[in-house]
Copies of this chain bind each other. A is one copy, B any other.
Amino acid sequence: MDDMAEAERLARMPSRLLAQAAAAAGRIVGDGLAAAGAHRYQYAVLATLAELGPASQAELSRRTGLDRSDMVATVGALEGEGSVARAVDAGDRRRNVVSLTDAGVSRLAALDAALAPLQERVLAPLAPEERATLVRLLQVLAGHHGRRWS
């Protein structure tokens, strides 16, 4: 019973559509960042530092959703290319204070410039109002499921 309603079950399944769209978007953005010599994780950390100002690795992990373990390597790579500085926090010696350097600010601007047309490609088939609606709905979903606290 209900065969017609289930005929396109896969094509209408939210989890599957999300996975497909995310995979396509991830490939476009991942390839673009790779061409710029960066990793998705690195962009996330640079952008978060630009918003927050200097922060510990644990705080960056919380904000970006990256694992504490991967954060070590990511901050290490950014430090290695001169985009961030890493120093022991004088007020709490367990922490590193990670901060953007001038080179990091430039690096972030370059990556932002590289990313803009890629996000445009991701959303290409949608009209402007549809893009805004999609972003809003995804924010609701991400916000809802992102709360490990609450």
Residue among B24, B119, B133, B143 making CB contact with A141, cutoff 8 Å: B24
Residues of A within 8 A of B (CB): 6-26, 28-29, 44, 47-48, 50-51, 64-65, 112, 115, 118-119, 122-126, 130-131, 133-135, 137-146
Q: A14-B135, A15-B29 are in contact. List 6 more A-B contacts (CB 8 A).
A: A8-B51, A10-B51, A20-B65, A20-B138, A125-B141, A125-B143
Question: Could you say which residues of chain B place their CB within 8 Å of the CB of A112?
Answer: 6, 9
Q: Which B residues touch A48, using CB under 8 A?
A: 10
Sample 12 A-B pairs with CB under 8 A, ordered by A number.
A6-B50, A10-B44, A10-B51, A12-B139, A15-B118, A15-B122, A17-B142, A18-B26, A22-B22, A24-B142, A122-B141, A125-B141
A49 to chain B, nearest CB (A): 11
A131 to B13 CA separation, bound complex (whole angstroms):
11
Contacting A134 at CB < 8 Å: which of B8, B50, B65, B134?
B134
Contact between A18 and B138 (Cβ–Cβ < 8 Å)? yes
- Least CB distance from A6 to B in Å reads 7
Residues of B within 8 A of A24 (CB): 141-142, 145-146
- CB neighbours (8 Å) of A16 from chain B are 44
Cα distance A18–B141 in the bound complex, in angstroms: 10
Contact of A21 among B29, B130, B142 (CB under 8 A): B142
B residues near A8, Cβ cutoff 8 Å: 51
